Homo-oligomer: A and B are copies of this chain.
Amino acid sequence: MNGPCYITRRAEISAGHRLFHPELSDEDNERIFRNCTWPGGHGHNYRLEVTVVGDPDPTTGMVINLKDLRRVMDERVVAKCDHRNLNEDVDFLRGIVTTTENLCRAFWQELEPAIADLPGDARLWRIRIRETRDNSVEYYGPAGARPE
């Protein structure tokens, strides 16, 4: 049987953040971001799900070695963000409003080339982040099929 498989690996990141745009007034930050902009900041247990796609290797039956994917996720994202303040401590998030949308895009940028460099032809397909139990975001990359 043929056809690609989609492999998802999950991780949890406990991080602090605050939604805030430096060029907006305090009133506008409050109007737009409401309780998410309160100055002391807050935080989440972000649930990160990284999905790669590819054809399984005919011998091993694996699209990617999950331990490689886990290592890439750890090195590129989890180790830099877990137990950190996303607004202050993470190089690749500097100057970015830390909405879940922007986190998806930034994590994509960190992970996409590293996954492409792994052995085999798997490539990044989707980033999904659950911010709270009721809110989550998915991103399929800059060339992700734009629904009509």
CB within 8 Å of B: which A1-48 residues? 1-12, 14-17, 19, 21, 23-24, 32-36, 38, 40-45
For the complex formed, measure the closest distance between the CB of A32 and the CB atoms of chain B, giving whole angstroms: 6
Q: Which residues of B are found within 8 Å of A40, using beta-carbon distances?
A: 16, 84-85, 88-89
Q: Which of B44, B141, B142 contacts A43 (CB 8 A)?
A: B44
Contact of B88 with A5 in the complex, beta carbons under 8 Å? no
Q: What is the chain B residue whose CB lies nearest that of A33? A: B60
B8 close to A140 (CB less than 8 A)? no
A interface bracket (residues with beta carbon within 8 Å of B) = 35 or more
Are B3 and A146 in contact (CB-based, < 8 A)? Answer: yes
Chain B residue with Cβ nearest A5? B101
Given the interface contacts A4-B146, A101-B7, does A60 sit within 8 Å of B32 by beta carbon?
Answer: yes
Residues of B within 8 A of A9 (CB): 134-135
Judging by beta carbons under 8 Å apart, are A61 and B133 in contact?
A: no
Cβ of A38 to closest chain B Cβ, rounded Å: 6
User: Would you mind naming 11 contact pairs between A and B with Cβ atoms under 8 Å apart?
Assistant: A1-B109, A3-B139, A4-B144, A5-B137, A7-B100, A8-B138, A32-B65, A43-B44, A44-B44, A60-B99, A61-B98
